[in-house]
């Protein structure tokens, strides 16, 4: 049915490649390209069967990416490199009239600030070119938006309160490691928190608001209010929402180590001169931390990510909780990954499948919640991320 070009051969890229390779009736030809080609080759070898072509590309370089696209001629480019590459990859897609999909919104390198404005600004150019960009198609953002659209379509006349809850109750046995790219992860959690209430954004100190929340099959875990990018698109696309918050769990040891790193300046993104060379402390820290793709072996426990929503149906109060639990050891057995890479890579593959099979169509720049959630929800059950739901039960985030 189609050809996909996957950019980025980290933890998430490996899962996207594995999952696409397992559905040859949709993904006829697959190319995996990244800055370091040997990482692509290793993934391709593990998958086997000559299913994956590989290439080297610097995705910061539009010309290089355009050349690669012109050689391979994909129907869709899946961006699972870093958020820094979003704009150059969208530009390369425009120049070659190629559809685009990603899992994280753009961030400038020199400022820990992320919002959709830069990517939404491509709207008219994508429409004029007759191509589609699907933004934020991992788990959160991604499935969190699809869950919300599904709730809105089937269970609510009006949604009022949305809480996205993200728990990783796993143990990788390392002293300190992040589950996705360390630089992006640490930038995200050390910035101020923010949530949406009555049309305004309310800022908090980093990790200032926290409380225990109970997660299915896991129990209570301390959960911290963070700003997360899908809050911006979901409150825009579902304007009846009065309050939207995002919660993520962190263990005490993780927070203690992170505080020390922050206090000694290791998480700073301001360049310093070291032995005559300019370095960014956070990038140096990334170089000494384990790579997310290497964490899978021996990782125990599970993740639980979901949406808890309160609103109105047929004039009555309604609550709805929809979630997925994903077991680190099981996904390691399936494709050598840990659950955070897996829960991001599987939705990226399903989003690509939606575009290639015409279930999600149209032109322009769209967030996942703007499409029909039903075919995507069906594929989540089929491809490894089954979901559960509870209707009109007390919401754990409100207990």
Stretch touching ligand NDP by CB under 6 A, among 193-201, 233-241, 289-297, 367-375: 289-297
Binding pattern for the stretch 116-155 against ligand NDP, x by CB under 6 A and - elsewhere: ----------------------xxxxx-------------
The answer to whether 295 and 185 are in contact (CB under 8 A) is no
Residue 242 backbone phi and psi in degrees, to 5: -95, -35
Interacting residue with ligand NDP among 29, 41, 291, 374 (CB under 6 A): 291
Compare residues 261 and 318 and give the one whose CB is closer to ligand NDP. 261
Run of H or E residues at 150: helix 143-154
Stretch touching ligand NDP by CB under 6 A, among 54-62, 110-118, 268-276, 358-366: 54-62
Longest dimension (CA), the chain: 68
Residue 395 backbone phi and psi in degrees, to 5: -85, 130
Compare residues 46 and 154 and give the one whose CB is closer to ligand NDP. 46
* End-to-end Cα separation, the chain, in angstroms: 48
Q: How far is the CB of 11 from ligand NDP (least distance, A)?
A: 4
Stretch touching ligand NDP by CB under 6 A, among 32-40, 265-273, 331-339, 367-375: 32-40
Q: Where are the beta strands (DSSP E) in 266-387?
A: 272-274, 277-279, 302-313, 316-327, 364-367
- H helix intervals, 22-142: 37-47, 62-72, 86-96, 117-120, 123-129
The answer to whether 222 and 250 are in contact (CB under 8 A) is yes
Compare residues 32 and 132 and give the one whose CB is closer to ligand NDP. 32
Residue 309: which of 193, 190, 144, 194 has the closest Cα? Answer: 144
Q: How far is the CB of 86 from ligand NDP (least distance, A)?
A: 8
Binding pattern for the stretch 64-103 against ligand NDP, x by CB under 6 A and - elsewhere: ----------------xxxx-x-----------------x
Binding pattern for the stretch 320-359 against ligand NDP, x by CB under 6 A and - elsewhere: --------------------xx--x---------------
Interacting residue with ligand NDP among 12, 43, 90, 93 (CB under 6 A): 12
What count of Cα atoms within 13 Å lies in the side-chain half-sphere of residue 148? 35
Both tokens assigned to 3: 């050809």
Give the torsion sign (CA, 9, 13, 18, 21). negative
Compare residues 103 and 319 and give the one whose CB is closer to ligand NDP. 103
Both tokens assigned to 235: 């409150």
Whole-angstrom distance, CA of residue 185 vs CA of residue 346? 19
Interacting residue with ligand NDP among 20, 21, 30, 59 (CB under 6 A): 59
Interacting residue with ligand NDP among 52, 169, 289, 293 (CB under 6 A): 293
Task: List contacts with ligand NDP (CB under 6 A).
Answer: 7-13, 34-36, 39, 57-60, 80-83, 85, 103-104, 138-142, 180-181, 184, 291-293, 340-341, 344
């Amino acid at each position: 049915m189609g050809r996909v070009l996957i950019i980025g051969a980290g933890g998430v890229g490996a899962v996207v490649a594995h999952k696409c390779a397992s559905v040859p009736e949709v993904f006829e030809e697959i190319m995996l390209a990244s800055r370091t080609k040997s990482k692509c080759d290793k993934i391709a070898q593990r998958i086997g069967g000559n299913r994956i072509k590989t290439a080297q590309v610097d995705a910061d370089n539009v010309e290089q990416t355009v050349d690669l696209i012109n050689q391979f001629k994909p129907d869709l480019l899946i961006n699972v490199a870093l958020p820094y590459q979003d704009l150059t990859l969208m530009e390369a897609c425009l120049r070659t009239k190629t559809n685009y999909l990603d899992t994280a919104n753009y961030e400038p390198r020199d400022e820990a600030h992320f919002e959709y404005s830069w990517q939404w600004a491509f709207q008219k150019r994508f429409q004029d070119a007759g191509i589609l960009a699907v933004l934020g198609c991992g788990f959160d953002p991604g499935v969190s938006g699809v869950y919300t659209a599904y709730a809105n379509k089937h269970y609510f006349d009006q949604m009022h309160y949305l809480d996205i809850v993200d728990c990783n109750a796993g143990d990788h046995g390392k002293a300190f490691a992040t589950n996705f790219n360390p630089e992006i992860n640490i930038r995200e959690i050390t910035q101020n928190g923010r949530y949406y209430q009555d049309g305004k954004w309310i800022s908090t100190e980093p990790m200032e608001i926290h409380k225990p929340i109970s997660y299915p099959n896991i129990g209570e875990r301390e959960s911290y209010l963070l700003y997360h990018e899908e809050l911006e698109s979901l409150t825009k696309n579902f304007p009846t929402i009065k309050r939207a918050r995002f919660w993520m769990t962190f263990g005490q040891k993780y927070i203690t180590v992170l505080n020390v790193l922050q206090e000694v300046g290791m998480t700073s993104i301001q360049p310093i001169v070291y032995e005559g060379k300019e370095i960014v402390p956070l990038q140096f820290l990334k170089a000494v931390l384990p790579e997310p793709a290497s964490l899978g072996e021996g990782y125990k426990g599970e993740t639980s990510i979901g949406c808890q929503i309160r609103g109105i149906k047929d004039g009555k109060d309604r609550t709805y909780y929809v979630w997925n639990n994903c077991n680190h050891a099981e996904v390691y057995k399936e494709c050598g990954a840990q659950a955070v890479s897996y829960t991001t890579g599987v939705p990226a593959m399903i989003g690509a499948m939606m575009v290639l099979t015409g279930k999600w169509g149209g032109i322009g720049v769209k967030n996942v919640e703007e499409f029909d959630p039903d075919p995507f929800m069906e594929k989540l059950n089929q491809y490894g991320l089954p979901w559960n739901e509870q209707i009109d039960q007390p919401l754990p985030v409100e207990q």
